[in-house]
Structure 1
Amino acid sequence: MASNPRRVPPWIVLAILTATASTSIAPAAADEASGELAEQIDQVFARFDKPDSPGCAVAVMRQGQVIHKRGYGIANLDYGILIASDSVFYLASVSKQFTAACIALLVQEGKLSLDDPLSKFFPEFPEYDGGPITVRHLVHHTSGLRDYLTLMSLGRRRFEDVTSVDEVLELITRHQELNFAPGEKYLYSNSGYFLLSEIVRRAAGKSMREYAREKIFEPLGMKNTRFHDDRSEIVKNRVISYMPQGDGYQISYLANFDQVGSGGLLSTVDDLVLWVRNFESNQIGGDGFLPLMKTRGKLNDGSELDYAFGLSHGQYKGLTTLGHGGAMMGFRTHLVGFPDQRAAVIVLANLGTANPAELAEQVADVVLAEAIGESLKRYAGRYTSDELDVTYEIAAEGTDLVLKHTREVPGKLAPLDDAHAFSLPGTGIELHFTADDAGQITACRVGSGRAQNIRFAKDDVSP
């Protein structure tokens, strides 16, 4: 992307002109495409772009290039420091893909196997009914281990207090039962990824912070990224997070919480762009690294999961996605890639009421409008149910699918996490489309409340 002048929002100009000599205002962050595209993205984040509000750092990539990158709002309300592309956020569960990446690299180095039992690294763990827990189970959230953050909450432990690695290990190993037998189900567990960080330490002979710095962050040039395992450490450009309180905000920040693996990564949108680019350049890990990172988990019955190595496979309006979100304290984070379009949207927020996944989708509607419009056309058509004796018309209008019915006002359909699935907001109606082996949509099943799986055949399927 060509270098563009940094644009300064009008309220910042006003603040500079009216500030006293003792006021320190950081420069605004903006590295963005000019013209209508930038204005449309700015509009998505307009409610954060104020001198008294927490906000977001955003990076947008298309065809492998950064086309928009800037900050909106305030990183630290005490000092009026603006959010910039080098502002350092706590990533929460977006960290998991980096924990999983360390495991993948150790597998390639021959220092561990995904089928190694937990007892190889943690002899203190009890033997569970249903068989041994393996590294693979931890990666894909199929271990059955109870979530340590939930256990801390149920046990009325204060997250504000200092908690050591040994104390968390003792909390997890004290439980003699699992939620289910290993591999039987998928249930998201922070315990699994906390344990993965300790497996890295024991297999590599160094902390995950050191291993990730050596194997991932330094090779990729991610100079402002680290696993934050030292609560006393000074972090330049650190962002503070907030929750709403009355007409303003209150600090929501756990300075003493320094467990890593399930979370704990500090980073910037500048650095995360470099990480996304590695999914094309394959700069680290060799030929087997990226395929392993994208490998979906499987249950004992052979069912395939959407969850891979700290990344979830999904779809948005028919486009293939790969990403992860996070939430901890007042931080809300989301990184989503669109591999077929060589695109990505990164949103890091420091306000607990922000919804970065939704914001990222709104940005995708702007920058991938053409691709989304083409993708939605395959769903468009007339669908008839013999059981209900009714026909629905579904139209592709820009970046939206619209459900039309002769007795109802047309309604925009909202994409669901499942592939080829949409809902009609506020009604409880869901539509799950069926695709043939060639990807052509041939039917859909409609459900609402106590009436489910009603089949609608598409009238105009090409032979």
Structure 2
Amino acid sequence: MIFNRVFLLLIPIFIISCKSEAEKISERNSIIDSTITAFQKKLLKTEIDSVFEKNHFNGSISVFQNGEKLYEKENGFENFKTKSKIDSNSVFAIGSLSKQFTAVLVLLQEEQGKLKINDKVSKYLVEFQLKEFENITIQQLLNHTSGLNDFGSGLLSKPGKEFNYSNKGFRYLGELVEKVSGKSYDENAKELFAKAGMKNSSTPNLFQGKDFAGAYTGNSNNFQKIDNMPKRLADKEISVAAGGILSTVPDLHRWNDALYNGRILKPESLQKFMEKSSGRNHPILGKMGYGFGIMMNPQKPVAYFHTGYVKGSPSLNIYYPETKTSVIILSNIADESKGKDAIFIPHKEVKKLTDAIESSVA
């Protein structure tokens, strides 16, 4: 149905084929602009509202393009007991969206000459000086090809040979940033947030805000609050560098805008970040390319994204560089009894929709 609507919206483009080249370009651009508005009214609102209603979504989502809001919705509660409502200032645990921040911090250290991503990690961290780990490189931690085993000792595969998603690897990257910078991960992250213009983002150790959307499992009628949030995100079991950053929907739009438009990294560093250097068979989204803490579509449309999950807090961040469109979904409750596939149904359906829109206008 989405594709049928897109086709009907684009029919006028073909009517201009008999006009002069200048007229064609002008009218085509005008039609594309009006088509985007039509997407906002007929697709984004109708379709996303339907997805959220069907899945009883509790959280916040917005879609921005070139700084202009195309869609925004906050639904449900920060605190299910007091019934305090989610709003645009609500702070969420963003899970593995944190990995892109850690990857950028590593690349910033490289820009300052404090490391090279092809260096062996053993040059910096004593844990990697054991023979089994001594050849693992920083790049292999960044793109999950180190072979590190999250749930045991030893390696799952020879370094550089296979993709094995590793939270442990990103925890070590956080320690690496601390080692070469001489500052805590919290301090480095705080400086990065400021550079990106992020006003309400933090780490668990630094967070002092009052708008934290406490994490829950279950559903709105039968819920259980996750204890010691957000402090537990700083534990080694999770680690801030792998999955512990706190942020808001507006701040993540600011992050996307600053990062992908060259205000954080130098062009060559940004290219390393975005370039496919491994591949991932995502358990929910399927086969994807993988860069440094970021995934990308294997085919059109061009999109950079990542899912995130810490107990009770599913998230998704998508950026479409060709139209400078940013899509953020944050939530603070998950019914784990239904499995991860069910938890991420709203996120998957929204990405399918925004991919379709992007394919039609980019």
Tell me which protein shows more strand as a share of its residues: 1
Paired with 1:291 and 1:115, the residues of 2 have a C-alpha distance of: 15
**Unaligned ranges ≥5, structure 1:** 1-32, 152-174, 300-304, 376-463
Asked if structure 2 preserves the Cα contact closer than 8 Å seen for 1:76 and 1:239, the reply is yes
Residue deviations 1:133-159, cap 9 Å, x none? 111111111111111xx35xxxxxxxx
- Give the CA deviation at 1:361: 4.5
Paired with 1:48 and 1:253, the residues of 2 have a C-alpha distance of: 25
Residue 175 of structure 2: aligned partner: 198
Paired with 1:245 and 1:374, the residues of 2 have a C-alpha distance of: 37
- Classify 1:111/1:372 alpha carbon distance in 2 versus 1 (closer, same or farther; 3 Å): same
Asked if structure 2 preserves the Cα contact closer than 8 Å seen for 1:55 and 1:350, the reply is yes
**Unaligned ranges ≥5, structure 2:** 1-38, 280-287
- Counterpart of 2:258 (choices 273, 278, 283) is 278
Paired with 2:77 and 2:220, the residues of 1 have a C-alpha distance of: 18
Residue 225 of structure 2: aligned partner: 251
Alignment of 1:178-327 (within 5 A): 178-214=155-191, 216-229=192-205, 233-244=207-218, 247-255=221-229, 256-257=231-232, 258=234, 259-297=239-277, 306-315=289-298, 318-327=300-309
Residue 311 of structure 2: aligned partner: 329
- Counterpart of 1:81 (choices 77, 80, 84) is 84
- Classify 1:56/1:132 alpha carbon distance in 2 versus 1 (closer, same or farther; 3 Å): same
Alignment of 1:43-82 (within 5 A): 43-47=50-54, 55-63=58-66, 65-82=68-85
TM-score by length of 1: 0.60
Paired with 2:40 and 2:301, the residues of 1 have a C-alpha distance of: 26
Comparing 190-199 and 353-362, the one that deviates more: 353-362
SS at match of 1:324: strand
Residue deviations 1:84-139, cap 9 Å, x none? 12110001111100000100111111111112222222224442348511111111
Is structure 2 residue 327 aligned with structure 1 residue 345? Answer: yes
- Aligned partner of 1:60: which letter? V
Query: What's the C-alpha RMSD, in Å, of the aligned pairs?
Result: 2.8
Paired with 2:361 and 2:219, the residues of 1 have a C-alpha distance of: 43
- Aligned partner of 1:200: which letter? V
- Aligned partner of 2:297: which letter? G
Alignment of 1:366-385 (within 5 A): 369-372=356-359
Tell me which protein shows more helix as a share of its residues: 2
TM-score by length of 2: 0.75
Asked if structure 2 preserves the Cα contact closer than 8 Å seen for 1:334 and 1:356, the reply is no
Is structure 2 residue 350 aligned with structure 1 residue 363? Answer: yes
- Counterpart of 2:45 (choices 35, 38, 43) is 38
Asked if structure 2 preserves the Cα contact closer than 8 Å seen for 1:131 and 1:182, the reply is no
- Compare relative contact order (CA 8 Å, sep 6+) and give the higher one, 1 or 2: 2
Considering only CA atoms, is the larger Rg found in Structure 1 or Structure 2? 1
SS at match of 1:341: coil
- Classify 1:190/1:334 alpha carbon distance in 2 versus 1 (closer, same or farther; 3 Å): same
- Classify 1:88/1:120 alpha carbon distance in 2 versus 1 (closer, same or farther; 3 Å): same
Paired with 2:127 and 2:213, the residues of 1 have a C-alpha distance of: 38
Paired with 1:297 and 1:133, the residues of 2 have a C-alpha distance of: 15
